[in-house]
Amino acid sequence: MCRPSCCDKSGGQGAGIAAVAITVGAALIVAKLGPIVAQIVHIALEVLRIAALTAGAVLALAVLAWLAVMIVRWRLRHHGAQQQTTPQPVNAWQDVPAGNRSACLACGSSGTVLKAIGGRYQPGACPVCESAAWAG
């Protein structure tokens, strides 16, 4: 029997089978590579999260340090002006009164200092206190 040309089904089956095979192959590849890609994306997001948290912590510390500096400056500007004292200069080379060795900055009221003689340190009399003892 003769078939009309519109009913000829022998030529269209090869393309359908190829399309199904390609679809099944792609599904298998996606099934194998999907978890690997998902893990890579998960790790990338974790790295971004850790970087963002670190940057936020550094920024917070910088803001706290800046705020502390501003508070200290403000307190010194407003409260420091009320409690200013005039510093009194103390010179170690001035003669120390004979009865007041505690004021000697050279020996710290011990009466002896270490002198460098020939590359070695040797104890000796304090030159500042010594002149005060001679005078007094």
Q: Report yes or no: 115 and 124 within 8 Å, Cβ to Cβ.
A: yes
| C-alpha pair distances (Å), 45 with each of 39, 50, 51 | 10, 9, 10
Task: Write down the pLDDT at residue 84.
Answer: 59
Q: Is the pLDDT of residue 109 over 80?
A: no
26 phi and psi, to 5 degrees? -65, -40
Distance CA 131, CA 38 (A): 87
Q: Which tens digits make up the pLDDT trace of 8-59? A: 555 567 778 888 889 988 888 888 888 898 999 999 999 999 999 999 999 9
Q: Count CB neighbours of 96 within 10 A.
A: 24
Q: Is the pLDDT of residue 136 over 50?
A: no
pTM of the model: 0.39
